[in-house]
């Protein structure tokens, strides 16, 4: 499992267009309970601009994963003297989270074309793999999408453990510790270029993803298939 995003581009797109759509709410007669839900009609200039920027960020994330996959194959080939084909290192599934997708769903008994915006979520269509990254010291999960998810959540489920500590709080809590050494004792090789990168992402900064997965499994919106153990972590 390789988990990477758009290196902050998606976050910036969100920040920029919350401001753009926030200013446009009154013009379109839209009221929202929280400014983080600011939106605009799908055929408006604001929506078209946002969707274009969001898709560019998603494409950047897909490209990141392609590059990292290529480098991973090279590392295995160099270390084991066995080619990727013999190792069976092919991409099984690649998906983006935190994006809007045009999809068809049943609403009030009728099929409708919708834009489903998944924030803190990923797709869980029946039979599709669901990748749920945990933290870099414990485990991640592979789940399977379900029919129940289509009925209850527009084919969506969790996309990760979720933070317990902000990045600032995590850095403060990690003072005096050697997070890289702690991870090495767990059998995880960690590399980071930023001074506080490992501290910001230390395992304790996140909820236990097993608890999160247990909830979506019990409610039937995705089925637990396998638990994965981290081998290596690289943080920018």
Helices of type H across the chain? 9-28, 45-80, 84-87, 147-152, 167-173, 179-185, 197-200, 209-218
- Backbone φ and ψ for 51, nearest 5 degrees, come out as -60, -35
C-beta neighbour count of 42 within 10 angstroms: 15
SS (H, E, C) 11-35: HHHHHHHHHHHHHHHHHHCCCCCCH
Res 197: pLDDT = 86
- The DSSP output letter for 55 is H
Long-range own/partner contacts, residues 101-109 (CB < 8 A, 24 or more apart): 103/154, 103/155, 105/150, 105/154, 105/155, 106/150, 106/151
Res 8: pLDDT = 85
Res 234: pLDDT = 67
Coil, strand or helix: which one is 232? strand
Q: 46: burial class by Cβ within 10 Å (0-12, 13-18, 19+)?
A: buried
- What DSSP string describes 161-186? --BSS-HHHHHHHTTT--HHHHHHHT
- Over the chain (236 residues), the average pLDDT of each successive run of 10 is 85 95 95 94 96 95 93 91 89 90 94 93 95 91 97 94 92 92 90 85 93 96 95 68
Q: Please list the active-site residues.
A: 159
**Could you tell me the pTM of the whole model?**
0.86
Q: Which two tokens stand for residue 73?
A: 């194959």
- 121-123 and 129-132 as β-strands: parallel, antiparallel, unpaired? unpaired
Which of 68, 74, 55, 66 has its CA nearest to residue 9? Answer: 55
Res 3: pLDDT = 84
Contact 194, 7 (CB under 8 A): no
CA 87 to mean position of chain CA atoms:
27
Res 236: pLDDT = 58
Q: What is the largest CA-CA distance in the chain?
A: 63
Res 232: pLDDT = 72
In sequence order, the 6+-apart residues with CB closer than 8 A to the CB of 70 are none
């Amino acid at each position: 499992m390789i988990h990477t995003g758009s290196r902050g581009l998606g976050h910036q797109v969100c920040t920029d267009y919350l401001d753009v759509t926030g200013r446009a709410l009154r013009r379109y007669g839209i009221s929202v309970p929280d400014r983080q839900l600011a939106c605009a009609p799908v055929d408006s200039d604001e929506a078209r601009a946002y969707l274009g920027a969001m898709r560019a960020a998603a494409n950047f994330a897909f490209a990141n994963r392609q590059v990292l996959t290529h480098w991973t194959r090279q590392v295995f080939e160099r270390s084991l003297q066995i080619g990727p084909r013999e190792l069976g290192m092919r991409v099984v599934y690649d998906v983006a989270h935190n994006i809007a997708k045009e999809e068809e769903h049943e609403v009030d008994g009728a099929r409708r074309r919708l834009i489903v915006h998944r924030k803190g979520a990923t797709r869980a269509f029946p039979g599709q793999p669901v990748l749920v990254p945990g933290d870099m010291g414990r485990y991640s999960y592979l789940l399977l999408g379900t029919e129940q998810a289509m009925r209850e959540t527009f084919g969506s489920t969790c996309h990760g453990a979720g933070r317990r500590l902000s990045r600032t709080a995590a850095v403060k809590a990690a003072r005096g510790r050697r997070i890289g050494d702690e991870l090495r004792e767990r059998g995880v090789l960690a590399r980071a270029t930023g001074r506080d990168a490992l501290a910001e992402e230390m395992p304790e900064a996140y909820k236990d993803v097993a608890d999160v997965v247990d909830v979506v499994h019990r409610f039937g919106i995705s089925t637990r298939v396998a638990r994965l153990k981290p081998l290596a972590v690289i943080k920018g």
